[in-house]
């Protein structure tokens, strides 16, 4: 079991992803902005961040993930987007990209890899 932070501004996608991962046996935390995600990371030991790229506010999901990995290099980052995939040079180590819409088995495999 891993502790997964789902960072997604769309409530339906966030709740559905959290439910899929919880049903797969993971402990799931949820945040809708980069600021909320930073608070979660300060309060909880997180193993994996699932982050949408486009978020409200000053931090994108990719920026938040990159910052988190600088502080906690053991983290795994799953970057998601319904738009274009980030170019490989933008992706930090320990990260993978998953295009939306993704299927339950795809998000579980990305988190568990």
The pLDDT of residue 84 is 79
Position 17 pLDDT exceeds 90: yes
Position 29 pLDDT exceeds 80: yes
pLDDT band at 103 (very low <50, low <70, confident <90, very high): very high
Give the residue-averaged pLDDT of 56-81: 91
User: What range defines the domain where residue 98 resides?
Assistant: 3-112
| Total count of domains within the chain | 1
The pLDDT of residue 7 is 97
**For all residues of the chain together, what is the average pLDDT?**
93
Token pair listed for 48? 């994996």
Kindly report the CATH number assigned to the domain that includes residue 39.
3.40.50.2300
Q: Which helix (H) or strand (E) segment is 29 a member of?
A: strand 27-31
Position 98 pLDDT exceeds 90: yes
The pLDDT of residue 89 is 79
């Amino acid at each position: 079991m891993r502790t997964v932070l789902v960072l997604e501004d769309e409530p339906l996608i966030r709740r559905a992803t959290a439910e899929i991962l919880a049903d797969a046996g993971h402990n799931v935390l949820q945040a809708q902005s980069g600021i909320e995600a930073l608070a979660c990371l300060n309060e909880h030991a997180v193993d994996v961040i699932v982050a949408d790229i486009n978020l409200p506010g000053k931090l994108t999901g990719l920026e938040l993930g990159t910052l988190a990995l600088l502080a906690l290099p053991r983290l795994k980052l799953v970057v998601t987007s319904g738009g274009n995939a980030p170019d490989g040079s933008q992706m930090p180590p320990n990260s993978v990209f998953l295009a939306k819409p993704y299927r339950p088995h795809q998000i579980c495999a990305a988190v568990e890899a």
